[in-house]
Amino acid sequence: MSAVPDGPEADTDRAPLDPGVRALLDRWADQPAMFAGTVPGSTGGADGVEGVEGVEGVREARARFAAQMIEAAGRPARAPEVDEAGGVAVRWHRAADRTSDALVVFVHGGGWVLGGGDAYDAVAARLAGDLGADVAALDHRLAPEHPFPTPLDDTLAAVRALHDGTRPLALVGDSAGANLAAVTALALRDEGRAPAACLLVYPPPDFEGRYASVRENAEGYWLTASDVRACSKLYLAGHDPRGDVRLSPLRAGTLAGFPPTIVATAGYDPLRDAGHAFADALAAAGVDARRREHPALVHGFYGFTAAVPAADAAVAALHTELAGMLTGLVTG
């Protein structure tokens, strides 16, 4: 089966940046870069602001990221139920009108370093409402205090504890969370209990490849090439990623048997081409892989729904397609 681009504009001439995205980025223009001050060389923003490297820099980056996410996604109407699964903190978001028996596990982004807590509550609540399902949003431990493989081990432990086989499981993740969700899907496949579906939003599936979009979108679109290097360094903590499928699911020996998957990408994202490569590799392995590019959007659009109408529309379409996959109503 072939990967399905999002429309005739995908993989063609560069689309103009969405004006709603531009307005949001302009509001944040005087803030430091996402990972400013977290590792040597990661300081600075649009105005040259210097961060404090090390522990304080990580703390400030987390606070800044959470504030931006809450500004762009809003706050949920109801606070989540906080629990645990497999020793990992879980924030439960339940649809007011539950129409699906599926269990949806959401793994947040933030480069394995940021996110967690209430930063993604509105994102997970939106997912629950759109799917009419229970959503378990994982609060795995974060690097650099807990580098690789701890965030992955936490994700695996929580999903294994939650997935008892009594109802369909969907794994959803954005950015670093999509990496963790993809690796988890491979592990469950190998255990003979693959998820029913995955939604991977701008995933980084390959620590070894070099992709043109990292250069093309290196600056000016929220996530920068410097940010990609900084969060990777913090997550790896000196670990050599070469040959490690736990970091690069794109390089698995086989992707056959991977669950039906939507891979969503953004045109102005350093991770765009890696996401395309993963979707195409899934399709080549016979997986029902649906490549959905959003040429006018940026990395982070999954959490920009309260601020950017085009992001809101994109997320609504992705959730509708995922709901259809879970009910068997959408076939390709």
Write out the catalytic residue numbers. 175, 269, 299
Amino acid letter, 13: D
Under 8 Å between Cβ of 282 and 262 = no
Please report which helix (H) or strand (E) contains residue 186, including its range. helix 176-190
Alpha carbon of 179 to those of 43, 49, 71, 273, 331: distances in Å?
25, 30, 25, 14, 25
Give the DSSP per-residue string, 110-171: STTTS--TTTTHHHHHHHHHHHTSEEEEEE---TTTS-TTHHHHHHHHHHHHH--SSS-EEE
Alpha carbon of 10 to those of 5, 41, 71, 251, 294: distances in Å?
6, 34, 29, 24, 8
CA dihedral 192, 193, 194, 195 (to 10 degrees): 180
Q: Return all residues near 98 (Cβ < 8 A) that are at least 6 apart.
A: 132, 133, 134
**What SS3 state is found at 278?**
helix
CA R_g for the chain: 18
In whole angstroms, give the CA distance from residue 232 to residue 268. Answer: 20
